[in-house]
Structure 1
Amino acid sequence: MSYESQQMARYSGIPTFMRVPIISDLSLFDIALIGIPFDGGVTNRAGARHGPREVRNQSTLMRTINQATGIAPFDLTRVGDFGDALPDSPFELTGAHKAIENYYQQVKDAGVIPLSVGGDHSVTLPVLRAMAKDGPVALVHFDAHCDTGDFYLGSKFHHGSPFKVAADEGLIDPKKTIQIGIRGGVTDKDIWKFSYDSGMRVIHIEEFYQMGLERVIEEIKTVVGDSKVYVTFDVDVLDPCFAPGTGTPEVGGITTFEAQQMIRSLSSLNIIGADVVEVAPPFDQSGMTALTGATMMFELLCVCAASFSRRHT
């Protein structure tokens, strides 16, 4: 399928993700770019519901070849925009999650890799419910928070708990899960106890810099191995100077270049899906956070395309 972005000015046309074609038939595509404009799981600042639209807008700045890795994702795979996974009601989390799961079941059934933009981090749970129906998958999780908390204000389902629920439901294998960039203050010193007790590999920001980037990359590959893996990238893993537009910013994070380097190292993994979440444009009028989100999405697209191409050639 031809990718005709070079034939149209960036500021014109329908602003799909990275100016790719709109998907009307999933069987004609290998990778589906999808928005999930839902932030009903936030515990503090809402706004990530606007993430997909603004990331689509900023993603028109993306090009066709990754200069650092040489990967040309649109040459390796057929990529399209599958629109938004819209819940019937944005005001009821359980029903919204079920609608999102049903949307992704179509993608799973078609054998297509989903690459999504949220939305708050609670949306990764229904995506995993669709994509990991065949058994638990490994997880590479970039975030300032482990998101393995328990009940919050009486609710089990929120953006601080998706990976505890995912592990409890057998969607992810805790011993093949790695969480990178964890930091910030807490209200309970045992808030992430589930991560440790279940066997997840947790790399706090202090250990990240003690280890160095290359050792962290080696650790990712060691933990995941050759398992099917889902990659989830919360923009609050980045220092707020790079991504201020997010619901729960934490100072002292990684740089955008460090994030790019880690994502680029994942092309040898068996990736079944990925997402970028927690881009909240109302908190960043400059648009820089959405541009950063679009850039990380492109980096993820490159490794998803390389992974898919390797498995199908």
Structure 2
Amino acid sequence: LSVNPINLLDGLKRIEDGIAAIVAQGALPLAAGGDHLTTLPVLRAVAPKEPVGMIHFDAHSDTNDRYFGDNPYTHGTPFRRAIEEGLLDPKRVVQIGIRGSIYEPGEHDWAKAQGVRIIYMEEFVRRGAAAVMQEASDLVGDKPTYVTFDIDCIDPSMAPGTGTPELGGFTTREAQEMVRLLDGLHFAGADVVEVAPPFDLGGMTALAGATMMFELLCVMARSLADRKARG
């Protein structure tokens, strides 16, 4: 998609229009960001009439109100805006792998008050991928659900090329396992975001990002085929 690097709001509108054209053809979008703000216009395109659920892999909740002064549209605010705009059903949103530094003491309070399920990294370590993903699947149910994968959910030892790396993340193998456990989900679309090539080492983050997109493509294609076969 042709985005506008100078005008933020125009860039968001271009993404929304481009994804809307894909959705209008009956296809499921699989997007590659950009920073995590790029997910907001994708959600605007896939959920114009009713909110969707979301399974969100990330080190950060991205539900802040403002970043960089008083800016409501940044990589740390997309899901607050999406809930406010009625694009996401917060009671069908689960965030997995949250950890690391925060910007204010109550950073996650608003999300929790809306009903967002936050699974911190420590809980994931205790319970394991299978149990966590079973809960995520149960929470979103059989209604349309968007999957967003921030590459910084993976430990920076395996994916250093990102803007806000946080130690103590998933291994690439754990990330693959979790995405494969999305099999059968009623997909509304998906994306992989926050790969930053200038910060990469030997292309390892680019490889991780491309691999996660491939893993998502596989489960999306099979789930869609199964859904069509069932009528």
Q: Distance in 1 between matches of 2:11 and 2:59?
A: 25
1:245 aligns with 2:152: no
Partner letter of residue 125 of structure 1?
L
Any idea what SS the aligned residue of 1:263 has? helix
Residues paired across the two proteins, number: 228
Shift of 1:192: 1.9
What corresponds to 1:146 in structure 2?
61
Aligned pairs for 1:125-204 within 5 A? 125-152=40-67, 153-204=69-120
Aligned Cα RMSD in Å?
A: 0.8
Q: Distance in 2 between matches of 1:130 and 1:281?
A: 27
Shift of 1:259: 0.7
1:267 aligns with 2:173: no
Partner letter of residue 222 of structure 2?
A
Structure number with larger C-alpha Rg: 1
1:119 aligns with 2:2: no
1:86 aligns with 2:2: yes
What corresponds to 2:213 in structure 1?
297
Q: Distance in 2 between matches of 1:241 and 1:160?
A: 23
Out of 130, 135, 146, the position equivalent to 1:214 is: 130
Shift of 1:285: 3.5
Q: Distance in 2 between matches of 1:187 and 1:104?
A: 32
Out of 121, 135, 158, the position equivalent to 1:205 is: 121
Shift of 1:100: 0.7
Q: Does the 8 Å contact 2:54/2:92 carry over to 1?
A: yes
Any idea what SS the aligned residue of 1:266 has? coil
Shift of 1:185: 1.5
Out of 17, 28, 36, the position equivalent to 1:102 is: 17
Q: Does the 8 Å contact 2:130/2:181 carry over to 1?
A: no
What corresponds to 2:197 in structure 1?
281
Deviation sequence 1:41-73 (CA, Å, 0-9, x none): xxxxxxxxxxxxxxxxxxxxxxxxxxxxxxxxx
Q: Does the 8 Å contact 2:145/2:186 carry over to 1?
A: yes
Aligned pairs for 1:56-95 within 5 A? 85-87=1-3, 89-95=4-10
Partner letter of residue 90 of structure 2?
P
Q: Distance in 1 between matches of 2:27 and 2:184?
A: 18
What's the TM-score, normalizing by structure 1? 0.72
What's the TM-score, normalizing by structure 2? 0.97
Q: Aligned in 2, Cα 1:285/1:214: closer, same or farther, shift over 3 Å? A: closer
Unaligned runs of 5+ in 2: none
Q: Does the 8 Å contact 2:52/2:145 carry over to 1?
A: yes
Deviation sequence 1:211-231 (CA, Å, 0-9, x none): 222210111111111110100
Deviation sequence 1:62-102 (CA, Å, 0-9, x none): xxxxxxxxxxxxxxxxxxxxxxx112x21121111011101
Q: Does the 8 Å contact 2:35/2:75 carry over to 1?
A: yes
Shift of 1:277: 0.3
Q: Distance in 2 between matches of 1:312 and 1:125?
A: 28
Q: Does the 8 Å contact 2:55/2:136 carry over to 1?
A: yes
What corresponds to 1:226 in structure 2?
142
Unaligned runs of 5+ in 1: 1-84
